[in-house]
């Protein structure tokens, strides 16, 4: 069963009088242990689609399923709970808090949870992305690639089934981008998670199990 599935999804935005159809009857799915990359030009609907897969937004028409369960009509609270427990996000601009150390940034999404040793898990995750010697550094003491790795570790702290990444290599040079993609590939295998990335970067093609091309709101098979 697909860990996440969009069926016949339409997304329209209203801008005053203008109605923009950002996604036009899109079908999409991702499986555990798979890296799917959505490639398309600017304005083709990539971020819109990632927001729907990540339950940050709801479709105008169509169905969103997680592990086969229809979540399209879930309340805001129910969606928040599904997001928190099942989905990790890596945003292009990292969104790390500048006054916190790498370890504290990674711990942050699990702060509500007192039942487990989140500090140990944060340190373990940082070691696994090669930052075991940067645990107490703040973001301004880290390179762009290192900050991206902190963001990846943070996205994994709640043990998600799905990792979503908007332009995971966007701000990085080619070599650093390759390191990040190697790490994502390893994490995908170790944790058996689905990774869904959206990008214009053709470099991701070599690292992906499947490529989905999005043009003007339509998936080209």
Ligand X SMILES: Nc1ncnc2c1ncn2[C@@H]1O[C@H](COP(=O)(O)OP(=O)(O)OP(=O)(O)O)[C@@H](O)[C@H]1O
- Give the Cα separation of 207 and 184 in Å (integer): 9
DSSP for 84-145, written as a single string: HHHEEEE-TT----TTS-HHHHHHGGGTT--SS-HHHHHHHHHHHTT-TT-TT--GGGS-HH
x/- track of binding to ligand X for residues 161-200 (CB under 6 A): ---------------------------------------x
Report the nearest approach of ligand X to the CB of residue 134 (Å): 30
List the single partner that 44 binds among ligand X, Mg ion, none, CB under 5 to 8 Å by kind: ligand X
Token digits for 152?
A: 């990846």
Q: Using the minimum distance from each CB to ligand X, give the nearer residue, 45 or 145.
A: 45
Token digits for 210?
A: 């499947």
Using CB under 6 A, which of the segments 44-52, 74-82, 140-148, 202-210 binds ligand X?
Answer: 44-52
Query: If DSSP codes are grouped into helix, strand and coil, which group holds residue 36?
Result: strand
Q: Using the minimum distance from each CB to ligand X, give the nearer residue, 48 or 169.
A: 48
* Site for ligand X, rule CB under 6 A: 13, 15, 20, 22, 40, 42-48, 200
Chain residues that interact with Mg ion, rule: CB under 5 A: 46-47
């Amino acid at each position: 069963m697909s860990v996440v599935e969009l069926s016949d999804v339409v997304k329209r935005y209203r801008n005053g009088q203008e109605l923009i159809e950002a996604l036009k009857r899109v079908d999409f799915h991702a499986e555990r242990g798979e890296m799917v990359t959505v490639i398309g030009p600017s304005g083709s609907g990539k971020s819109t689609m990632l927001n729907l897969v990540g339950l940050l937004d709801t479709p105008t028409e169509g169905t969103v399923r997680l592990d086969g369960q229809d979540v399209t009509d879930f309340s805001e609270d129910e969606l928040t709970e599904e997001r928190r427990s099942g989905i990790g996000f890596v945003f292009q601009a990292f969104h790390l808090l500048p006054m916190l150390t790498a370890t504290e940034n990674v711990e942050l999404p699990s702060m509500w949870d007192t039942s487990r040793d989140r500090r140990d898990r944060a340190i373990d995750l940082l070691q696994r992305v090669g930052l075991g010697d940067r645990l107490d550094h703040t973001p301004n003491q880290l390179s762009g690639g290192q900050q991206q790795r902190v963001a990846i570790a943070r996205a994994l702290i709640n043990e998600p089934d799905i990792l979503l990444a908007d332009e995971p290599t966007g701000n990085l040079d080619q070599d650093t981008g390759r390191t990040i993609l190697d790490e994502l590939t390893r994490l995908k295998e170790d944790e058996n998670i689905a990774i869904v990335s959206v990008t214009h970067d053709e470099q991701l093609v070599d690292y992906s199990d499947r490529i989905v091309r999005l043009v003007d709101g339509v998936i080209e098979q």
